[in-house]
Amino acid sequence: MPIYNCHLHIFTIDHVPKKFLPLGLTSLMKSKLLRAPLTFLFDNIIPFSDKDLLHRYSNFVKISYKKKQRDIFEIVRSYYPLDTKFIILPMDMSFMKAGEVPCSITEQHAELAELRDTYPEQLIPFGAIDPRQEDLIDNLKDLVENKDFKGIKIYPPLGYPPYHEKLYEAYGYAEAKDIPVIAHCSRGGVRHKKLPKNLTISYTDPDNYKKILKDFPGLRICMGHFGGIHDWENYLNDPWNESSKPESKSWLSKIMDMIRSGEYPNLYTDISYTIFLYEENSKLLKVLLENKRIREKVLFGSDFYMVEPERFQERRLSIWLRATLGEEYFRQISEINPERFLGINS
């Protein structure tokens, strides 16, 4: 059974803005000697407004400092069987108002295309697009038609709504070319530095995709992270009923409702990052997959390397998940659904 890991990253510290963290922490975190004590201090002693970004940057540095995308890809592929296929999602953080990015998205894409040529049977590259990019559509066409990129990645919390008019042109192109879109859909993660947090979260809300999916009925869209760890916890812990305010409803519930409704036949979601809260979320996932409509729209993904690898290594995660779900359900989310999402054999 070939496994598809449908959501992972291999970009390096050279693709991250120089002011990703405030107070000069971006430079300090590059020191191996300082990184662990600084993280401990901000977790336990000194208040820090965004521990998620601190931990993410620590991971960026730990995994990718002085490395190329090839080095990181060779790390993650070593955790899986040799016939595993990986959807690689680049990131364009140049518009998030956090300073200069040493290597442009064009350079990141070019390096990824070279790496795909080295591993043509394993590496499936997507292109990172942003409505603020110059020559967005021309560059997208070049990636798809000349460099054989297989899909699109968008990341709205970096400062734009997914219904932006320039993205609509990209969606039309993707629908015509029969290539899918993966969208970040979690309250956590990287976000624009100057915009209010509640605004960037609103850009990420699953409800934004209802009109897009209606306007482009042939476009396959995956909501990455299935709403995110925070919203899986809310689903388990918080009361909600039809009379509750919509904003109190977990994003997990919103995505499930959209899939179960049957109104959005090309809507998918993936379990990347979210499944690393393993003990609770693997059990919840198994129950959710009992619903046929949901079972046919969930993709396996890990979000390497956004998760601390020593907490739950890639190999351990995939094997434990396979054992928990059983062969039938694991094959559904790691082979059957990914091939349908990618348009293979369709």
Residue 46 has pLDDT above 50, yes or no: no
Q: What is the pLDDT of residues 107-156, one digit of tens each?
A: 999 999 999 999 999 999 999 999 999 999 999 999 999 999 999 999 99
Residue 190 has pLDDT above 50, yes or no: yes
Question: 3-state secondary structure string, the chain?
Answer: CCCEEEEECCCCHHHCCCCCCCCCHHHHCCCHHHHHHHHHHHHHCCCCCCHHHHHHHHHHHHHHCCCCHHHHHHHHHCCCCCCCEEEECCCCCCCCCCCCCCCCHHHHHHHHHHHHHHCCCCEEEEEECCCCCCCHHHHHHHHHHCCCCCEEEECHHHCCCCCCHHHHHHHHHHHHHCCCEEEEEECCCCCCCCCCHHHHHHHHCHHHHHHHHHHCCCCCEEEEEEECHHHHHHHHHCCCCCCCCHHHCCHHHHHHHHHHHCCCCCEEEECCCHHHCHHHHHHHHHHHCCCHHHHCCEECCCCCCCCCCCCCCHHHHHHHHHHHHCHHHHHHHHHHHHHHHHCCCC
Least-confidence region, from 148-157, 179-188, 257-266, 315-324: 315-324
Average pLDDT, the chain: 89
**Domains of the chain, first to last:** 4-342 (3.20.20.140)
Residue 310 has pLDDT above 70, yes or no: no
Whole-angstrom Cα distance, residue 25 to residue 4?
36
Least-confidence region, from 66-75, 207-216, 264-273: 66-75
In the structure encoding, which two tokens stand for residue 269, read together?
Answer: 């979601």
Q: What is the pLDDT of residues 53-110, one digit of tens each?
A: 666 666 677 777 778 999 999 999 999 999 999 999 999 999 999 999 999 999 999 9
Q: Which residue has the higher pLDDT, 34 or 254?
A: 254
Q: How confident is the model at residue 334 (pLDDT cuts 50, 70, 90)?
A: very high
What is the CB neighbour count within 10 angstroms for residue 113?
17
- CA 96 vs. chain centroid, Å, equals 17
Burial class (CB in 10 A: 0-12, 13-18, 19+), 286: middle
Q: Which residue has the higher pLDDT, 62 or 168?
A: 168
Least-confidence region, from 38-42, 124-128, 187-191: 38-42
Residue 345 has pLDDT above 90, yes or no: no
pLDDT score recorded for residue 305: 80
Q: How confident is the model at residue 316 (pLDDT cuts 50, 70, 90)?
A: confident
